[in-house]
Amino acid sequence: MTNWKEVDDNIKHWIKEAGTKIRQSFETELTIQTKSNRNDLVTNIDKETEQYFIGKIRREYPNHQILGEEGYGDQLQSLDGTTWIIDPIDGTMNFIHQQRNFAISIGIYHDGVGILGYIYDIVHDELYHAKKGEGAFMNEIKLSPLPSVTIQDAIIALNATWVTENNRIDPKILAPLVKDVRGTRSYGSAALEMAYVASGRLDAYITMRLAPWDIAAGKVIIEELGGTVTNLKGEPLNLLEKSPIFASKPGLHELILKKYLHKLV
């Protein structure tokens, strides 16, 4: 049996240590490479941070599986057993260009069920964390269950890409939502955008194609607060695949599905 309290203590310690190293890297020159396209970036710090976590996990928990964005973990066939899903830096473009608006994201699942979630905003020293059934926190502040909100009063996170010509969604579907809400924001880090839904800074977040490591932690934290994380049709996510994401306060989720997203085929 896994001692989740011990896992929680270990992760918090490792995340803070990794955060300190990342902050120190601001003083050094980054090695930057591209992956799938010229805007899909990775640095030596992304790679070193993932290797740091994997080294720690392998030593303490040799029977656990690891899925990491930079590929130093395992090739997962299923979510059976305990699985760590890690993004060493979510928002790498922001890390490189802005030195802010990026985060470490770690979710731990047992037999496919989210147990622990951590999103660490290194620059602001804000650690969002949750354990299933035991509450969600920002640092030591307990977060409140998410209340509902009307569309007119909502601030949603949405990238402008999705209301212009693109090859993932008809821009006519989300443009009316953008007009109807109080405001839109785009931070460029899925993990932080989900942490902001959890903390109430945002009311919902919609995006078209995220990987499991972008959302594994955020899903645990938001769901612990009564929020909902699905694909754009309101269906459950498969954490072994890339997927569109719709994370929201509870009542708002149904309102947006019914009024705007039902047009998706």
Instruction: Note whether 87 binds ligand 2AM by CB under 6 A.
Output: yes
Binds ligand 2AM (CB under 6 A): choice among 116, 190, 198, 245: 190
Binds Ca ion (CB under 5 A): choice among 47, 83, 87, 163: 87
Instruction: Note whether 203 binds Ca ion by CB under 5 A.
Output: no
- Cβ proximity to ligand 2AM: between 41 and 149 the closer is 41
Binds ligand 2AM (CB under 6 A): choice among 149, 210, 222, 225: 210
User: Which residues, numbered 120-149, are part of the site for ligand 2AM (CB under 6 A)?
Assistant: none
How far apart are alpha carbons 130 and 3 in whole angstroms?
16
Total residues contacting ligand 2AM by CB under 6 A comes to: 16
* Residue (of 161, 198, 158, 147) closest to 180 by Cα position: 158
Instruction: Note whether 214 binds ligand 2AM by CB under 6 A.
Output: yes
φ/ψ of 170, rounded to 5, equals: -65, 120
Binds Ca ion (CB under 5 A): choice among 69, 121, 203, 224: 69
Long-range contacts of 51-54 (CB under 8 A, 24+ apart): 52/14, 52/17, 52/18, 52/21, 52/88, 53/14, 53/18, 53/84, 53/86, 53/88, 53/106, 54/86
Contacted entry of ligand 2AM, Ca ion, none for residue 121, CB cut-off 5 to 8 Å set by kind: none
Instruction: Note whether 167 binds ligand 2AM by CB under 6 A.
Output: no
Part of the chain binding Ca ion (CB under 5 A), chosen from 66-74, 104-112, 173-181, 237-245: 66-74
Question: What size, in residues, is the chain?
Answer: 265
Joined tokens for residue 88? 């060493």
Instruction: Note whether 168 binds ligand 2AM by CB under 6 A.
Output: no
How far apart are alpha carbons 21 and 17 in whole angstroms?
7
Q: What is the nearest approach in angstroms of Ca ion to the Cβ of residue 9?
A: 25
Instruction: Note whether 193 binds Ca ion by CB under 5 A.
Output: no
- Cβ proximity to ligand 2AM: between 117 and 131 the closer is 117
Instruction: Note whether 209 binds ligand 2AM by CB under 6 A.
Output: yes
Joined tokens for residue 247? 């994370």
Spell out the residues 6+ positions from residue 101 whose beta carbon is closer than 8 angstroms to its own: 91, 94, 123, 187, 188, 189, 192
Q: What is the nearest approach in angstroms of Ca ion to the Cβ of residue 68?
A: 9
**Cα 133 to the center of its chain, rounded Å:** 19
36 within 8 A of 23, measured Cβ to Cβ: no
- The residues binding ligand 2AM (CB under 6 A) are 36, 40, 69, 87, 90-92, 159, 188-190, 209-211, 214, 242
